[in-house]
Amino acid sequence: MKYIFITGGVVSGLGKGIVGSSIAAILKSFGVKVYMKKFDPYLNIDPGTMNPIEHGEVFVTDDGAETDLDLGHYERFIDVNLSKNASISSGKIYEHTLLMERRGQFYGKTVQIVPHITNLIKEEIYTLDADVDVDVVICEIGGTAGDIESQPFIEAIRQVRMEKGIKSVMFIHVALLPFLKITNEYKTKPIQHSFKQLLGLGIQPDIIVTRSETEIEKKLKEKISLFCNINEESVISCPDSESIYFVPQTLYNEKIHEIITSQLEIKITKPNFSWWEKLIKNIKEATNNVKITIVAKYFALKDSYLSVIESLKIAGFATKNNISIEWVDAKKLNIDNYKQELKNSKGILVPGGFGESGIEGKILAAKYARENNIPYLGICLGLQVACVEFARNVLKLSNAASTEVDINTKNPVIDIMNGKDKYNIGGTLRVGGFNTNIKKGTLAYNIYKKNVIRERHRHRYEFNNDYREAFESKGFVFSGIYEEGNLVEIIENPACNFFIASQYHPEFTSRIGKPNPLFKSFVSAVVKYSYK
């Protein structure tokens, strides 16, 4: 087994996840079997209870883990289903350690960061699912070099290198190379200091990936090489790109794969870049601009909807359309302004979310789409608000609501699942992959062309089956059902050209070159019906 550890320097948010995913995609193209992991230094057990505006999207794996959004990039780039073993936080490590201490599993020894915490981190590094066949594990270490929180992880990977050797372990450092406009030059000093931080912790990076605004000159590589004690060819330029999907090509052109496969002595086959070349071709040929309106409650941080955004882009690439997203703040939509705010919408997407804020705005968005025959895609909460809107305005149940918002509503068309705890919010959701049976002759069946699909969920409220007959009497269609629990998974309104919503999150299974069918059909419907 070979291991590649990716660290970050100078500032956060440089795209370590994209760099790691791109390296994995390149290696996979050479026939190397890859797997990816994320180690986060925060003390939360997982991101599941974190505010999306604080930390961005919570990505869900098929086995039900609530993880960092970088796992979404990993899965999209390498087309591999990751698991709970791919997402490890300090909180998870410390919780495990303290439970072991309470159970007496340390046999009375003093419990310390080294070796007890670092040993558990190493166990997580080495642990893979039983059915995973892997040549290289790429591990991203969250945070920035010098952070107090990440030091146990840095110490653990130092020990891994000692245990496995330089031919089995590689360190890649992604660091900012800032450009000072006042002097019109790039400054290498921040990278030098970041490198020194790692050296002080026992880590000698084998490759430095410089994140800069533009491609850097040879003399800058020479300077970084000299002061950071690595070969010049191991200084990799990774400038800003118009698309994250161009980054694999950038790193390939810098020959990063040659350095990796040489040091780690990895045998490679003739590369297969057909998927990559097709993607780039489609991106460059996507001249038709398609506008999608996203009605969002987490308006302040667009990363709250990262997989939705990327799924739309991937669907656009597959249909050779350039997706342009227009954001509408659900919390600011009201009965007086919603028609004006949405009048230019060509397609409306209402994504998931939790809590009361923005609900009425999302209900109005579903109303506008239905009444004006605008292609509509609802996801999770987007399904629930579409049901509430239909109940209020078609079934004339004026006080219809979700009990998440109004516990005393007389018409709870959306209600909490049996056995779910609405107060203890951590780890109490219906989360992970579940099967959906699709009815033939429906829009959903036409989209998926399958009797049974598997998609990922993250919610605790469901459509109330007591109202199913009333909805159907007015033409509403429940086209997807989780039969084991008799739960509604997909709804559609045949009175509209394209109006469909899912209780699951289709964005979590979109891959490069393989857009989720719901997203692809939604984009195609917007083109067909709104750009005649």
Tokens of 490: 């997909």
What is the maximum span of the chain, computed from C-alpha positions, in angstroms?
A: 75
- Is 505 designated active site? yes
The per-residue pLDDT for 8 is: 96
The per-residue pLDDT for 408 is: 93
- Is 459 designated active site? no
- Give yes or no for residue 441 having a pLDDT over 90: yes
Closest CA to 396 of 291, 471, 342: 471
Mean pLDDT of 305-326: 95
Catalytic residue among 173, 457, 459, 505: 505
pLDDT per position as a tens digit, 333-363:
999 999 999 999 999 999 999 988 999 999 9
Catalytic residue among 238, 380, 387, 496: 380
Question: How far from chain centre, in Å, is Cα 468?
Answer: 33
Contacts of 69 (CB under 8 A, 6+ apart): 17, 56, 57, 58, 59, 303, 306, 307
The per-residue pLDDT for 406 is: 93
The per-residue pLDDT for 419 is: 45
Contact (CB, 8 A) for 402 and 415: yes
pLDDT per position as a tens digit, 474-526:
999 999 999 999 999 999 999 999 999 999 999 999 999 899 999 999 999 99
C-alpha atoms less than 13 angstroms from C-alpha of 256 in its C-beta half-sphere? 30
pLDDT per position as a tens digit, 84-114:
999 999 999 999 999 999 999 999 999 999 9
One-letter amino acid at 380 equals C
Tokens of 270: 């003739």
pLDDT per position as a tens digit, 314-323:
999 999 899 9
Structural domains of the chain in order of their starting residue, each with its CATH number: 3-7+11-277 (3.40.50.300), 287-530 (3.40.50.880)
Secondary-structure percent of the chain, ordered helix, strand, coil, rounded to 5: 40, 25, 35
The per-residue pLDDT for 369 is: 98
**Exposed e or buried b per residue across 457-482, where buried means at least 16 C-beta atoms within 10 angstroms of its C-beta:** bbbbbbbbeebbebbeeeebbbbbbb
- Is 380 designated active site? yes
Helix axes 151-164, 118-126, angle to 10 degrees: 60
Residue with tokens 């490890």: 88
Q: If you average pLDDT over every residue of the chain, what do you get?
A: 94
The per-residue pLDDT for 398 is: 85
| Number of continuous H segments (helices) and E segments (strands) in the chain | 18, 23
The per-residue pLDDT for 475 is: 96
Mean pLDDT of 53-82: 93
pLDDT per position as a tens digit, 266-304:
999 899 888 888 888 888 888 889 999 999 999 888 899
Give the integer Cα–Cα distance in Å for 512 and 24.
13
pLDDT band at residue 420 using 50, 70 and 90 as cut-offs: very low
The per-residue pLDDT for 418 is: 64
Helices (H), 434-476: 443-448, 468-473
Mean pLDDT of 144-170: 96
Q: How many residues does the chain have?
A: 532
The per-residue pLDDT for 428 is: 65
The per-residue pLDDT for 20 is: 97
pLDDT band at residue 131 using 50, 70 and 90 as cut-offs: confident
Which CA distances in Å does 303 have to 192, 216, 488, 508? Answer: 30, 28, 28, 14
C-alpha atoms less than 13 angstroms from C-alpha of 268 in its C-beta half-sphere? 20
